[in-house]
Structure 1
Amino acid sequence: MKAAAPWPSDIRLKRKERILEVDFDDGTKFRLPAELLRVESPSAEVQGHGTGQKKTVPGKANVAITTVEPVGNYALRIVFDDGHDTGLYTWETLHRLGTDSDKIWTDYITALEREGLSRE
């Protein structure tokens, strides 16, 4: 039997810091920057419609989160100040982004450099 996925016990939007704080019932706590959430959006616009179609999203160093809306009891819809609002961030996605944030960030910076793009 598969263990239950971690469930959020608290979610806080820190607008001035551009951070989404998420605490999970397994004891993990993450501070997820708006930029990371935006460039890793689970939307088709960013991830594509199939394997190997992910897009590198430049120019999001100063993106902010406008609102965070619950979607059922399984996800959040995050609205960014650049108008992006189509990604549904499941609890599993948020936990993975927190757990793997160092590698995800390094891969993102590498992709920007490889494609001649900038965070600014």
Structure 2
Amino acid sequence: WETLTLSEQLANVGSEVDRAIRAWEAERTDRFERALERALELFDLTVRDERWRGHRRREILRAREEFCRLFFDDDPPEGSARRLSRYFLQFGVLARRRGSGTADPAPACG
């Protein structure tokens, strides 16, 4: 995990976030629970990465908070799932570009 860039880590987190959202919407409890657990595990691994201090770590924790709020808050904000998906999609696009050799600046978190 520590060999991945921030955009690659967050792209992986985003994949699990999207899986959890889709499973929740489809009422697939088994898939939802696995995706939820994996997303939280990846959030926690990313937060523990010593390279991401200060504003980056705060941004990751804020995204984790919004993810949890989506499923555990009695009244999550309208459009939360869509906004989370869009947020993480940006990291997937950036990670893919970097993987193809395109040099991009580090993502601005926060």
**Smaller-chain TM-score bracket:** under 0.3
Relative contact order, CA 8 A, sep 6+: which one is greater? 2
TM-score (norm 1): 0.26
Where is the strand percentage greater, Structure 1 or Structure 2? 1
More helix as a share of residues? 2
TM-score, with length taken from structure 2: 0.27
